[in-house]
Amino acid sequence: MKLAILTAWSLLLAVPAFGTSAAETAGSPVSEASGGPAAPNDSFPGILPDLAHLAHEAKRVQFSDMAAWSRFRFRRQVEQQRLGGAGEVREQSFLDFVIRPAAEGFDEQLVGINGRIPTPREVSQHRRQARFSRHYTTAQSGGAGGGEEAGYTLGTLLRMSTYRYAGEEQIEGARCHRLDFGPGNRGDLQGVEGRLAEAMTGSLWITAEGFHLAQAVARTVRPVPLALSIAKVNDLEIRMEAAPVTRDIWLPSRIDVRANARVSWVPVRKHTRYLYSDFQPLFDETHPGSDAVPAAGSAALGATLAPAAP
């Protein structure tokens, strides 16, 4: 199941190499039903954006935003729940980190675990595991092996074949372009990646000013077999929310992954949530104009998860 989640993230959060010609994407949406130009939607007046240009700029800006992680000290919280058949929580863990840029990657200091202060051994163990550093490195390189948290990158959302421009919406107070995508047969995607591309639908929101990824969602519309029918993902839902941390940088504030799978005929239901808050810029002369602004909702992030009982 973990492989499916990793691959779904790779598919989900990648700015499109669109499956249509430049003529189809320039200035007109693509119909999910026919692949041709769709009728204008009254929800967004004026000239439709050039989707190829929108994708190009979003990818460029996302690369810049990704690089900016190394310029901040921030808080990272991870809650994982294993659920029963009725959705009840059977097991829960909660980790609280303070992350600081280091000479190589990040220093990941565990400051809380399941509602208590961690032992020195636990702090050392999680520092060695360096999970965020690994996710960050993988996301920077465009790979899919960095775990589900690497999904905030735009490395592969909208490699699906069918997509359309869905108008403008407000996200975190910002005017955004919404792009919807649906399942499609992609001949260039093989294995689990190809099977997920044929079974996922979702949307992404790109800010009209600055072309930042503000939000992304995706879910499977049918079960996806994995390895020799031994494992199958019945339902997979992924959601990412971002917010401005400076005037010109947007970074994720929340990632949610909900998975319902079967592994060797054993049902597995899991909900993992990652929260990022308290961004504090490390100023230097090479990055002017990085005055911090409060990330929308960041003050409340620490309160959205109640630590599990010890």
Classify residue 174: in a domain, yes or no.
Answer: yes
Tell me the percentage of the chain whose pLDDT exceeds 90: 35
Q: Residue 305 — very low, low, confident or very high, per pLDDT cuts 50/70/90?
A: very low
- Per cent of the chain over pLDDT 70 is 64
Confidence of residue 129 (pLDDT cuts 50, 70, 90): very high
CB contact at 8 A, 238 and 151: yes
Residue 295 included in any domain: no
Q: How many of the other CB atoms lie within 10 Å of CB of 173?
A: 9
DSSP string, the chain: -HHHHHHHHHHHT-----SS-HHHHSSS-B-TTTSSBPPPPTTS-SPPP-HHHHHHHHHHHHHHHHHGGGGEEEEEEEEEEEE-TTS-EEEEEEEEEEEEE-SSSEEEEEEEETTBPPPHHHHHHHHHH-HHHHHHHHHHHT-S-S-GGGGGS------SSEEEEEEEEEETTEEEEEEEEE----TT--HHHHHHHTTEEEEEEEETTT--EEEEEEEESS-EE-STTTEEEEEEEEEEEEEEEETTEEEEEEEEEEEEEEETTEEEEEEEEEEEEEEEE---TTS-S--B-PPTTHHHHTTSSPPPP-
pLDDT of residue 169: 96
Per-residue model confidence as pLDDT tens digits over 44-101: 455 677 888 888 888 889 889 989 999 999 999 999 999 887 778 889 999 999 999 9
Provide the pLDDT for residue 282.
87
Long-range contacts of 143-149 (CB under 8 A, 24+ apart): 143/10, 144/6, 144/7, 144/9, 144/10, 144/193, 145/6, 146/6, 147/2, 147/6, 148/2, 148/5, 148/6, 148/9, 148/238, 148/255, 148/257, 148/272, 149/255, 149/274
Report pLDDT digits (tens) over 134-149: 888 877 765 544 455 5
pLDDT at 303: 33
What pLDDT score was predicted for residue 287? Answer: 46
Residue 100, domain member (yes or no): yes
Answer whether residue 227 shows pLDDT above 70: no
What is the DSSP code string of 238-289? EEEEEEEEETTEEEEEEEEEEEEEEETTEEEEEEEEEEEEEEEE---TTS-S
Q: Is 292 part of any domain?
A: no
Phi/psi at 139 (5° precision): -65, -40
Q: Are 15 and 57 contacting, i.e. CB atoms less than 8 angstroms apart?
A: no
Nearest one of 169, 164, 162, 163 to 43, comparing CA atoms: 169
Q: Which residue has the higher pLDDT, 200 or 39?
A: 200
Whether the predicted pLDDT of 37 surpasses 50: no
293: in domain = no
* Residues 242, 212 contacting (CB under 8 angstroms): yes
Whether 172 is covered by a domain: the verdict is yes
The confidence score (pLDDT) of residue 47 equals 61
The domain containing residue 75 runs over which residues? 2-33+48-284
Give the Cα separation of 179 and 202 in Å (integer). Answer: 9
CA distance 164 to 49: 11
Please provide the average confidence, as pLDDT, over all residues in the chain. 74
Angle between helices 131-141 and 51-67 (to 10 degrees): 140
Q: The pTM is what?
A: 0.74
Residue 309 forms part of a structural domain: no
Triad 207, 210, 214: Cα angle to 5° = 35
- Residue 259 confidence (pLDDT): 86
Structural domains counted in the chain: 1
User: Does residue 38 lie in a domain region?
Assistant: no
